[in-house]
């Protein structure tokens, strides 16, 4: 399996997160889903590639724990993201 890494920062956050991908598996198109604590998709982003950090705005959503899922051609990734008050 190819080496791949997704970095999500800052975590915890009060508004925006940035997502960057390194390695094979995410260079040929991928999707990112942000799920709330009930498993409901609150954001769904489709990208052809990720050559620069992707900004995701969580400010309209309540504070809590979310799950970021990235699904690429040959890779999958899941990470908890915490949104807090300022």
pLDDT digits (tens, 9 = 90+) for 32-48: 999 999 999 999 999 87
- Note the pLDDT of residue 45: 93
CA–CA separation, 46 and 32 (whole Å): 7
Q: Where is mean pLDDT largest: 11-20, 25-34, 43-52?
A: 11-20
Residue 55 reports pLDDT greater than 80: yes
Predicted structure pTM score: 0.86
Nearest to 8 by CA among 77, 84, 86: 77
- Count the neighbouring beta carbons within 10 Å of the beta carbon of residue 6: 23
| CATH code given to domain 4-83 | 2.60.40.1930
Kindly list the strands in the beta sheet with 30-35, ordered across the sheet, starting from the edge strand earlier in the chain.
41-47, 30-35, 64-72, 76-83
Dist CA 14 CA 10 (whole Å): 9
Q: How far apart are CA 83 and CA 85, in angstroms?
A: 7
């Amino acid at each position: 399996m190819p080496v791949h890494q997704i970095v999500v920062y800052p975590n915890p956050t009060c508004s925006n997160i940035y997502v960057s991908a390194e390695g094979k598996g995410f260079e040929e198109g991928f999707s990112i889903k942000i799920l709330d604590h009930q498993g409901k998709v609150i954001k769904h982003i489709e990208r052809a590639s990720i050559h620069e950090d992707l900004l995701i705005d969580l400010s309209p959503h309540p504070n809590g724990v979310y799950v970021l899922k990235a699904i690429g051609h040959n890779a999958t990734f899941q990470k908890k993201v915490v949104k807090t008050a300022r």
